[in-house]
Amino acid sequence: MKKREVKIVLMSTLSVCFILTGCRVPAPTYGTDKAVSLQFVDDIVSLVPSSSTDNNPPVMKQRPELVYPGPDSRTVLPPPREDSVGGSPQVNVKQRRKKYLFRRQAADEGYVNYQRDLSEPPLIYRQPAKTAPVGQKGHDESVKERKRKRAARKAKSGDKKSLWPF
């Protein structure tokens, strides 16, 4: 056999083995005691009407008659019960706490050191230091970077290594 034929036979044998091992993989049954693929096939087959003659129709039982209240029963409804939650002290505590938090939030809105988020630093940290120069403009960052690069090139220019491209 030629090399090509050996490869084809080997690949086809491997592919058949993979297909067969894939069929043996246990699949979930979802409570039907059958694999998903088998249950699917059974469902499709059950959709097709069978031509069997079934002489035993399903047995249907009559429902019992409805039970109505007798004429001597009460025609007036009983009074409604008291609200079981209304008198609970826990509800009052929750309501008081909610009102307290609402008042506190309203009071904190005008407060100078009020922080909305934990990531927001306090105002004390946001003020400049007393020794910091005020009103002086610094140099532009691009100008500083150009000066730094020029100084680095000047320092390197005396080396013979700078002549080599690598």
Residue 19 pLDDT more than 70?
A: yes
Q: Are the C-beta atoms of 1 and 10 separated by less than 8 Å?
A: no
pLDDT at 123: 76
Predicted confidence (pLDDT) per residue in 139-160, tens digit: 889 999 999 999 888 876 666 6
Write out pLDDT tens, residues 42-85: 877 777 766 666 677 778 889 999 888 777 776 777 788 877 66
Residue 24 lies in a domain: yes
pLDDT at res. 22: 64
> Could you list the residue range(s) of the whole structural domain that residue 40 is in?
3-47
How many structural domains comprise the chain? Answer: 1
pLDDT tens, residue by residue, 80-121? 887 766 566 666 788 888 899 888 887 777 676 677 777 878
Does any domain span residue 13?
A: yes
Q: Provide the pLDDT for residue 23.
A: 63
In a domain, 14, yes or no: yes
Residue 75 lies in a domain: no
Does some domain include residue 30?
yes
Amino acid letter, residue 91: V
